[in-house]
Amino acid sequence: MLKFRWETEFKETEIGEIPKDWEIENLGWAVKSLESGSRPKGGLLKHDPNGILSIGGENITWQGDLTLDNCLRFKEEFYESLKKGKIEKEDILLVKDGATIGKLAYVKEVPEGRAMVNEHVFLIRTDKEKYNPRYLFYYLFSDAGQRLIESAIGGSAQGGIKRDITEIVKIPIFPFEEQSRIATVLSYFDDLIENKKRQNEILEKTAIAIFKNWFVDFEPFKNEEFVDSELGKIPKGWEVKKITEVVKILRGISFDSKDASFEYFEDAIPILRANNIKPNRTIDLTDLMFIPKSKVSEEKKLKELDIVIVGSNGNPELVGNFACFIEILPPKDFSFGSFMYCLRTNSKIFFPFIYCILNSNYFSEYLASVVTGTNISNLKKSDLENFQIVIPPPPILQKFHSLVEPLFQKIINNQKQIMVLRKIRDTLLPLLVFGKLRVEEI
């Protein structure tokens, strides 16, 4: 049974206020090793789709997750040749340079059993006899922990975090058993979040499999008469139309840089950008930009079930990434930047159908044929508007919607619960890791 106690006696230290019975040490006291990895010469050219995962800063989110959809992989021989950078269970990964310096992830289990980090990521391995690695992750993940990491940055972000971080960053020292209790309480929330994310992956795969069976392979309609169309043979009575027959496509907000801030201000509205749309079709609500709400029309405030898609980016792999916007709790206005598009279905009945189309190989192949640009890859609004789709008769569309809508509703509910769980965890985290709220029993 969980038992908490509010602490009443504190002392001031370099890391802020902590309980009187805690002490302070350098991070190095708790670290067994600090190392980074490397990549074969040639980097991307050496990517092997069947190789071992090589995790870089782009694979770590500000929410402490690993996103491995577009992760580079290198040959097993290279992995075996490494003396440093091989990931082990309970390691902490820290982005040590670049634009996303300071991002962290905790390795509960090594992805696919074997993985490595590249030269832009530090691998922090804790001395597990002295310090709980998951507690250390939560401590560094806290706002105060992030400020301590920032203090270890040499010069600019590009200069990066050096190995002397182990001497610069200070950590609280208190009984290992209490560290473990704190880590256990916070991990309850992360484990629930992970479980709901896995549920969503299965639910989405199920919906897409049904879509493919119906509208790609035409299995339920094999015995019907087929006719020729611009997109090949389709059941008689079905139509090929532009996607704009069923969705409205909106271009994102353009704004002057002097009006934008990475810090919230009064009467501001958050703006989603390419970095907020993840390859796993989720929206990361960290690292937001804010502009005055007065600059955004009602039409360009996102609504639930709007599909936000990346239209332009320096990284061609990000163009075409999309996600469904889900209202946060409590409801809050959001908009989207000028390098983004919003697809708003004319009716909710079209949402699952369009979402699955955007998930198809057909759309990926279309993107490959129309996205242009050298330094910046662009998906033109006109190309998106000219995208042709096969639309079945209303009774079939209604039947499909009735079949998959409960799946999407569960995905949306799970996503809202994930937001609530993260909010609770983030509220508890500073109270627990700095000893304001003591965990006495579990």
CATH topology of domain 23-173: Adenine-n6-DNA-methyltransferase TaqI; Chain A, domain 2 (3.90.220)
The Cα 62–Cα 7 span in angstroms is 30
What's the pLDDT tens digit per position in 35-56?
A: 999 998 875 567 888 999 999 9
Write down the residue that tokens 């991307």 correspond to.
44
Architecture of domain 239-391: Alpha-Beta Complex (3.90)
| Lowest-confidence segment of 82-86, 158-162, 426-430 by average pLDDT | 158-162
What's the pLDDT tens digit per position in 239-264?
A: 999 999 999 999 999 998 899 998 89
CA atoms within 13 Å, Cβ hemisphere of 258: 0
Average pLDDT in the 429-441 region?
A: 96
pLDDT surpasses 50 at 371: yes
**Phi and psi torsions of 174, nearest 5°:** -160, 170
Residue type, 311: G
Residue type, 222: K
CB 290 within 8 A of CB 263: yes
pLDDT of amino acid 157: 47
What's the pLDDT tens digit per position in 143-160?
A: 999 999 998 887 654 568
Does the N-terminal peptide bond of residue 393 adopt cis geometry, omega within 30 degrees of 0?
no
Q: Which residue has the higher pLDDT, 424 or 67?
A: 424
CB 387 within 8 A of CB 230: no
The Cα 71–Cα 69 span in angstroms is 6
pLDDT of amino acid 373: 87
1-21+175-202+393-442 has which CATH code?
A: 1.10.287
Q: Residue 376 in 3-state DSSP?
A: coil
What's the pLDDT tens digit per position in 25-38?
A: 999 999 999 999 99
Q: Beta partners for 128?
A: none
Average pLDDT in the 357-379 region?
A: 92
The Cα 88–Cα 91 span in angstroms is 6
3-state SS of the chain: helix, strand, coil percent to 5? 35, 25, 40
pLDDT surpasses 70 at 136: yes
CB 289 within 8 A of CB 260: yes
pLDDT of amino acid 47: 84
Average pLDDT in the 77-101 region?
A: 93
Percentage with pLDDT > 90 across the chain? 81
Residues of the chain with CATH 3.90.220.20: 23-173, 239-391
Average pLDDT of the chain?
93
What's the pLDDT tens digit per position in 192-211?
A: 999 999 999 999 999 999 99
Which residues have CB under 8 Å from 98's CB, separation 6+?
57, 120, 157, 158, 160
**Phi and psi torsions of 132, nearest 5°:** -80, 120
pLDDT of amino acid 410: 97
User: Rounded to the nearest 10 degrees, what angle do helices 394-433 and 133-141 cross at?
Assistant: 100
pLDDT of amino acid 234: 96
What pLDDT band is residue 375 in, cutting at 50, 70 and 90?
A: confident
Other beta carbons less than 10 A from residue 98's beta carbon: 15
Residues of the chain with CATH 1.10.287: 1-21+175-202+393-442
The Cα 432–Cα 270 span in angstroms is 29
| Lowest-confidence segment of 87-91, 157-161, 318-322 by average pLDDT | 157-161
Percentage with pLDDT > 70 across the chain? 97
pLDDT of amino acid 43: 59
